[in-house]
Structure 1
Amino acid sequence: MSKDDIQMATAANEPSTLPADVGDLKDLSAEDRKLAELGYVPVFKREFSTWSCFSFAVSASGLFSSVSATLSYPLYAGGAASAVWCWFISGMGCMAIALSVSEIVSAYPTSGGMYFTCKYLAPKRWVAEIGWLCGWLNVLGQATGVASGGYAAAQLMLAAVSMGTDLTYTPTPGHTVGVMAALFVVGGLINSLSTRLMERLTRSYVVFHVCVLVAAIIALLVKQDNKHSASYVFTNVESESGWTPVGFSFLFGFLSVSWTMTDYDATAHIAEEIKEPEKKCPWAISTALLFTYLGGWIFTIVLVICMGDPEVILSSPIGQPVAQIFFNVLGKSGGMFFTVAAFLVINFGQIVAIQATSRTIFALSRDEMLPLSRVWLKINKHTGTPLNAVWVLIVFCICLDLIALGSYTTVAAIFSVCAIALDWSYCIPILCKLLFGKFERGPWHLGKASFWINIYACVWTLFVSIIFILPEFRPVTAENMNYASVILAGIGLFATVYWYSGARKSYHGPKTQMYIDPEARLHSYSGRAS
């Protein structure tokens, strides 16, 4: 980007400007120079390597634990065939979104992720409105993803406890909520560490994850004597949802895949903490999602082959069908081991999701998009990270999951909200790329296939969004209603009221900020905390 381009982008958004002499940028690394040219002050230390980026991206999906937490959805929807084929079909749509996101992130690598790209992809007169919509959808999707992941982690932990008591203990909503809150506090404490320490922790996640996945697949296939036939696995359709025809019910199985293969741009939100983010971010996103797609499909097939009677595992007293499969096939010790392993994997995912979401809160606050933005913007001078953003997220997720004390069905809707909100926060920039022709590709791109992959990603998102707001069971009652639409409407109403009550006067889209010399950059935001 030229000096004139920088000044034009600045004028189009906010009165804050870069100095007339942009020669000061020579003192920065290539990555920080690119960030300054995009209009943002470098405030983070770039500690993440190629391997830790990949591990981060794999952990964001939490394949092993996510499949374990959501297998019930396709089994209720259409039985064995729904679980297997929904993974295969939906996985292709999710891969199209992931590849489209990777391509755009390569061109504009910042903590704002896909939200920030609206500044360059949308027409100037619409940047504020499109950025507002995209930003709120993204932070809503990430926050609900963290909230639902925390609840699922608590369920897995208590399932292991139940196995330890030979199923004499049955988890209650109150116990689950209590464990969930404690896990969030631990996750917040871990995310209060410096970027260097977070990077060192992240390196090991993918190794543990892959080892557990392979061990579980081998153990189930070896120990299960009464395996289902290939005909049953790939063709058996049994709906417990009450929807007719059965083929329509079958579609609700897509939720398991969309909740697992989501948060594609999580790695993008730590782009300002990565060396060569324009190459490493898209590579990590695309390869991690391909691993999740193929590994998740294989793992799902194995689970269906070895699950035994689906009615037995769906009525499990421990509340987790996959944990019940491990218990039935591998016994108490084996069941506890793999359930605890799933619990650890999902918590690895929670740690990276909290990190990514807190960086999103920081990025939106940097553009004065959130209430009390100046508070969430502060960088702690000891850790070099936005601790206020971390802890407001923790408090929000705990409060959201407290709904489970009154209605688990409402909490289950958070899974749907996560998938819908996140995917549309990605598709809005993708649509802008397709419609307005302003995109200038980065070093990682899709070439001639880009247009068709982008189109498929948007069409797929529209298709599954309709499914995810429908009630999963019929007849519809207050107890089994899908409240995803209510949660989306509530947040949408808040964002709209907040916009018209004054935010539109201060928010003009992603800002361009004043450049600060390297010696002062780490104190540029922390100074506000003093």
Structure 2
Amino acid sequence: MESCEIMSTEDAGSYCYLPLQNPDQDLPSDSARLKQLGYKQELNRSLSAIGNFSVTFSIVSVITGLTTMYGTGLTYGGTVTMIWGWPIIGMMTMMVGLSMAEICSAYPTSGGLYFWSSKLCGNDWGALASWFTGWFNIVGQWAVTTSVDFSLAQLIQVIILLSTGGKNGGGYEASKYVVIGFHGGILFLHAAINSLPISVLSFFGQLAAAWNLVGVMVLMILIPSVATERASAKFVFTHFNTDNGDGISSKAYIFVLGLLMSQYTLTGYDASAHMTEETKSADKNGPKGIISSIGISIIFGWGYLLGITFAVTNIPFLLSEDNDAGGYAIAEIFFLAFKNRFGSGVGGVICLGVVAVAIFFCGMSSVTSNSRMAYAFSRDGAMPFSSFWHKVNNQEVPINAVWLSAFISFCMALTSLGSIVAFQAMVSIATIGLYIAYALPIFFRVTLARKSFVPGPFNLGRYGILVGWVAVLWVVTISVLFSLPVAYPITAQTLNYTPVAVGGLLTLTVFSWIFSARNWFRGPITNINT
């Protein structure tokens, strides 16, 4: 084995990779690697490759994203945007994932993206890069949890509505205050589950992954099989919906707007990086978790889209707020499939229950990822009251960070009480804000650290720079595309709040750096001697 001195945390530019695969001593390898990166082992390292993958796969959760955003896909382009847009987004997302996996293999720490940015930028710019990447990452993650759990609260509302007769049958429609109450209760359960030891959480994660896989396969076959009216293959693969009622006539423009459904779904795979301090052989299994979660999600997500879309025959009706599901497109598809076949929509409601459980698991795993990021970021002194948030309990769980993540996600959802338009800003940050955090360390890897980067066991070889540039350019592209107006004329209710939300986050991050953080934040700091 080569010898290599533990690097100083101030010497970010002279990182030395320590080979850790000692055939005689497998156990100390991960903790030795972590020590080399400047941290002592505080979390319980018991996750296997499958455990790491399961957490991430259940966060990506194609059932969650595609079910929640299916109406958006139908509105902007219809079946063409969904069926052909998904593999396009999947391929480009894989480019981002491959680049992240390569960097994750070199720096397997819970800090993930912000730690990578710091080390790849070196002494001069490391702290600044770490600050921006970290805050975009953690706020993006909180926004993901907010949107996922709020979508579950909304789905529960729809399930209750359909179970009590549907909108046209006088069913119960929960108020926005009841929905926010559901949201708070869901977050409480997620925080409680995440307070359990990682071994228990790993079990739930693997159960979540299995539920997502089986759920997708069952629903993609069952729904079109039960439906009495099925779409033709020509409709599924070629129908382009231009009747969105939003004053947009350009097909290319409409197609681009519809891609948000797919890109929103394929997020959250940075979780594998944040779980590396709890994963065995992290420099190999962390990257595997990122790549496998994306790859399997692409395959099963396309199958899910195809299966459900073969049950679509009347897009305007599915999007109408006058249908039984109150405009929740995919819920109406499920409900009608069983109602038209059996005279009762109970089966459709049960299928929605399967989706609801998958979304619950998605939110649970999202809180897991949030809390590990908050733990690591506060460990390096970046958050207010950092010493409190990075405390670990007797079960080696960052308990305070868990409850902080749940609380902030609840506060972010309160914007829905004022206006659903304001809440949509959370979805914007969850997609674009998070992808900006993904792109920053990749950008630094292909520019500032192009020659100095020393890869870990997983690397892209000579293709690393090319894949990295493709990933960065893709994030720049979607940041522009998803900031475009979604309706004309532009009013307070139709404005796309993505640039407002992301710009607001950027402004706050810049001002906090200029007026405060630049005087005390030094990027990742060692805790070996504490």
Match of 1:164 in 2: 163
Can you list the C-alpha shifts for 1:152-184, whole angstroms capped at 9, x where unaligned? 111111211112112022343222211111111
Structure-1 separation of matches of 2:225 and 2:440:
46
**Compared with structure 1, are the counterparts of its residues 252 and 27 closer, same or farther at alpha carbon in structure 2 (3 Å cutoff)?**
closer
Q: Secondary structure in 1 aligned to 2:68?
A: helix
Match of 2:153 in 1: 154
1:188 aligns with 2:191: yes
The structure 1 residue matched to 2:305, chosen from 295, 300, 311, is: 300
1:116 aligns with 2:119: no
1:221 aligns with 2:224: yes
Q: Which moved more, 1:200-209 or 1:252-261?
A: 200-209
Match of 1:423 in 2: 435
Query: How is 1:247-262 mapped onto 2 (pairs within 5 angstroms)?
Result: 247-262=252-267
Match of 2:466 in 1: 452
Structure-1 separation of matches of 2:29 and 2:442:
27
The structure 2 residue matched to 1:272, chosen from 262, 277, 285, is: 277
Residue type matched to 2:432 in 1? I
CA contact 2:85–2:262 (8 Å) conserved in 1:
yes
1:364 aligns with 2:363: no
Residue type matched to 1:273 in 2? E
CA contact 1:365–1:376 (8 Å) conserved in 2:
yes
Deviation for aligned residue 1:514 = 2.7
Q: Secondary structure in 2 aligned to 1:182?
A: helix
**Compared with structure 1, are the counterparts of its residues 51 and 514 closer, same or farther at alpha carbon in structure 2 (3 Å cutoff)?**
closer
Structure-2 separation of matches of 1:103 and 1:173:
44
CA contact 2:136–2:505 (8 Å) conserved in 1:
no
1:344 aligns with 2:373: no
Can you list the C-alpha shifts for 1:120-160, whole angstroms capped at 9, x where unaligned? 21132111111111111111111111111111111111211
Deviation for aligned residue 1:407 = 1.0
Structure-1 separation of matches of 2:3 and 2:237:
56
Can you list the C-alpha shifts for 1:186-225, whole angstroms capped at 9, x where unaligned? 1111111111221122221111211111111111221123
The structure 2 residue matched to 1:376, chosen from 372, 385, 389, is: 389
Structure-2 separation of matches of 1:213 and 1:427:
30
**Compared with structure 1, are the counterparts of its residues 64 and 11 closer, same or farther at alpha carbon in structure 2 (3 Å cutoff)?**
closer
Q: Which moved more, 1:297-306 or 1:336-345?
A: 297-306
Match of 1:401 in 2: 413
CA contact 1:191–1:198 (8 Å) conserved in 2:
yes
**Compared with structure 1, are the counterparts of its residues 10 and 514 closer, same or farther at alpha carbon in structure 2 (3 Å cutoff)?**
farther
Match of 1:335 in 2: 348
Q: Which moved more, 1:63-72 or 1:235-244?
A: 235-244
Structure-2 separation of matches of 1:393 and 1:433:
29
Match of 2:102 in 1: 103
Match of 1:231 in 2: 234
Q: What is the alpha-carbon root mean square deviation over aligned residues?
A: 1.9
Q: Which moved more, 1:367-376 or 1:36-45?
A: 367-376
Match of 1:435 in 2: 447
Can you list the C-alpha shifts for 1:286-322, whole angstroms capped at 9, x where unaligned? 1111111111112112222212211111124444211
Deviation for aligned residue 1:11 = 5.1
Residue type matched to 1:423 in 2? Y
Deviation for aligned residue 1:497 = 2.5
Structure-1 separation of matches of 2:4 and 2:83:
53
**Compared with structure 1, are the counterparts of its residues 242 and 464 closer, same or farther at alpha carbon in structure 2 (3 Å cutoff)?**
same
Structure-2 separation of matches of 1:366 and 1:482:
36
Structure-1 separation of matches of 2:108 and 2:479:
27
Unaligned runs of 5+ in 2: 14-24, 340-344
Residue type matched to 1:211 in 2? V
Query: How is 1:280-319 mapped onto 2 (pairs within 5 angstroms)?
Result: 280-315=285-320, 316=323, 317-319=325-327
Identity of aligned residues (%): 29
Structure-1 separation of matches of 2:413 and 2:480:
24
Q: Which moved more, 1:382-391 or 1:136-145?
A: 382-391
Q: Secondary structure in 1 aligned to 2:525?
A: coil
Residue type matched to 1:55 in 2? S
CA contact 1:155–1:319 (8 Å) conserved in 2:
no
CA contact 1:84–1:301 (8 Å) conserved in 2:
yes
Structure-2 separation of matches of 1:124 and 1:386:
29
Can you list the C-alpha shifts for 1:29-62, whole angstroms capped at 9, x where unaligned? 2101100011112101112112222211210111
Q: Which moved more, 1:488-497 or 1:265-274?
A: 488-497
The structure 1 residue matched to 2:522, chosen from 490, 496, 508, is: 508
Unaligned runs of 5+ in 1: 14-25, 516-523, 525-530
Q: Secondary structure in 1 aligned to 2:7?
A: helix
1:31 aligns with 2:39: no
The structure 1 residue matched to 2:504, chosen from 490, 503, 506, is: 490
Structure-2 separation of matches of 1:4 and 1:77:
56
Structure-2 separation of matches of 1:175 and 1:246:
39
**Compared with structure 1, are the counterparts of its residues 352 and 484 closer, same or farther at alpha carbon in structure 2 (3 Å cutoff)?**
same
Deviation for aligned residue 1:3 = 4.9
Q: Which moved more, 1:328-337 or 1:264-273?
A: 328-337
Structure-2 separation of matches of 1:119 and 1:482:
32
The structure 1 residue matched to 2:247, chosen from 242, 247, 267, is: 242
Deviation for aligned residue 1:5 = 5.6
Q: Which moved more, 1:30-39 or 1:279-288?
A: 279-288
Match of 2:426 in 1: 414
Structure-2 separation of matches of 1:502 and 1:414:
26
Structure-2 separation of matches of 1:291 and 1:27:
29
Can you list the C-alpha shifts for 1:433-487, whole angstroms capped at 9, x where unaligned? 1112222111112233322221211111111111222232222211122222222
Structure-2 separation of matches of 1:54 and 1:212:
17
Report the count of equivalent residues.
502
Q: Secondary structure in 1 aligned to 2:396?
A: coil
CA contact 1:87–1:257 (8 Å) conserved in 2:
yes
CA contact 2:318–2:329 (8 Å) conserved in 1:
yes
CA contact 2:57–2:269 (8 Å) conserved in 1:
no
Structure-2 separation of matches of 1:199 and 1:231:
43
Residue type matched to 2:196 in 1? L
Structure-2 separation of matches of 1:504 and 1:177:
38
Q: Secondary structure in 1 aligned to 2:275?
A: helix
CA contact 1:187–1:350 (8 Å) conserved in 2:
yes
CA contact 1:86–1:257 (8 Å) conserved in 2:
yes
CA contact 1:473–1:480 (8 Å) conserved in 2:
yes
TM-score by length of 2: 0.91
Q: Secondary structure in 1 aligned to 2:248?
A: coil
Residue type matched to 2:318 in 1? I
Deviation for aligned residue 1:343 = 0.9
Structure-2 separation of matches of 1:313 and 1:71:
10
Can you list the C-alpha shifts for 1:349-372, whole angstroms capped at 9, x where unaligned? 111110111111111111111122
TM-score by length of 1: 0.91
**Compared with structure 1, are the counterparts of its residues 321 and 462 closer, same or farther at alpha carbon in structure 2 (3 Å cutoff)?**
same
**Compared with structure 1, are the counterparts of its residues 150 and 117 closer, same or farther at alpha carbon in structure 2 (3 Å cutoff)?**
same
CA contact 1:159–1:339 (8 Å) conserved in 2:
no
Structure-1 separation of matches of 2:466 and 2:227:
43
Residue type matched to 1:328 in 2? L
Structure-1 separation of matches of 2:508 and 2:3:
39
